[in-house]
Chain A
Amino acid sequence: GEDVEQSLFLSVREGDSSVINCTYTDSSSTYLYWYKQEPGAGLQLLTYIFSNMDMKQDQRLTVLLNKKDKHLSLRIADTQTGDSAIYFCAERAPRGGFKTIFGAGTRLFVKA
């Protein structure tokens, strides 16, 4: 989507860390999300962060938020082949009735 941008592809080796980046344009965004989509499945919520936080950690996942630069990142530690999927960044903002706007998704390839 034009309001949320992500790089389309990322390739890493098993055991390495993956960092997926996202930029958004609406400074009033209140919630920022990361979703994972595996082939043939719907989107699964991985984690989310409130706009008044700058970091959130959940097991292998670390989310960093830089509000000044409107930049969000997802770090996956010790990446496994099962992490291969499409990762979507999404924002919710008061405009448009708290509509969730998705990025185009980053395709993560994990090589064994």
Chain B
Amino acid sequence: DTAVSQTPKYLVTQMGNDKSIKCEQNLGHDTMYWYKQDSKKFLKIMFSYNNKELIINETVPNRFSPKSPDKAHLNLHINSLELGDSAVYFCASSQENRGVGPLHFGNGTRLTVT
């Protein structure tokens, strides 16, 4: 029973293409996130949704568009992929409405743009 699952695990694509990464959590959490981890392992938050509502939107190019159809899902769509988008993208979730909860992470999607 994977708590936070994201697909695909690996994604190799060419510059200019559009791609999506999907994330689902079965923990009943009310908040979901997308983080980007670069080649030096530095983690930076991109977006956060609480009960399907966008609450954190960092300085991310508008080629990146998150979509949350319901509390358990947060997908990430990327248009016109660039070489610099190559990274590992992590989905995470937490329970916030009863106090601040720790993040639970998926296993990541390694995106390689050629």
Q: Which residues of A contact B (CB under 8 A)?
A: 1, 30-31, 33, 35, 37, 40-45, 48, 86, 88, 92, 96-100, 102, 104-105
Q: Which of B56, B92, B102, B104 contacts A96 (CB 8 A)?
A: B56
Question: Is B7 interfacial (CB 8 A cutoff)?
Answer: no
Whether, in the assembled complex, B103 has its beta carbon less than 8 Å from a beta carbon of chain A, the answer is yes
In the complex, the answer to whether A41 meets B107 with C-beta atoms within 8 Å is yes
1/0 per position for B27-70, CB-CB distance to A under 8 A?
00000000000001111110010000001100000000000000
Contact residues in B for A88 (Cβ distance below 8 Å)? 43
CB pair B108–A105 under 8 Å, yes or no, is no
Shortest Cβ distance from residue A88 to the other chain B in the assembled complex, whole angstroms: 7
- Range of interface residues on B (Cβ < 8 Å): 20 to 34
Closest to B104 in A: A45
Known: A42-B105, A45-B103, A99-B45. 5 other contacts (CB 8 A): A1-B42, A33-B103, A43-B43, A43-B92, A104-B41
A5 to chain B, nearest CB (A): 12
- Separation of A32 and B67 alpha carbons in the complex (Å): 29
Expressed in whole angstroms, the Cα–Cα distance for A42 and B105 within the complex equals 6
Within 8 A of A (CB), among B1-41: 4, 40-41
25 contacts between A and B (CB under 8 A): A1-B42, A30-B100, A33-B102, A37-B41, A40-B108, A41-B107, A42-B90, A42-B106, A43-B105, A44-B105, A45-B102, A45-B103, A88-B43, A97-B48, A97-B55, A97-B56, A98-B96, A98-B100, A99-B45, A99-B56, A100-B45, A102-B43, A104-B40, A105-B42, A105-B43
Give the distance in Å from the alpha carbon of A86 to the alpha carbon of B96 in the complex.
26
Closest 7 CB pairs of A and B: A42-B105, A102-B43, A43-B105, A42-B107, A45-B102, A105-B41, A42-B106
Do A41 and B108 form a contact, CB below 8 Å, given A100-B103, A104-B40? yes
- Cβ–Cβ < 8 Å partners of A104 in chain B: 40-42
In the complex, which residues of chain B have a beta carbon less than 8 angstroms from the beta carbon of A35? 103, 105
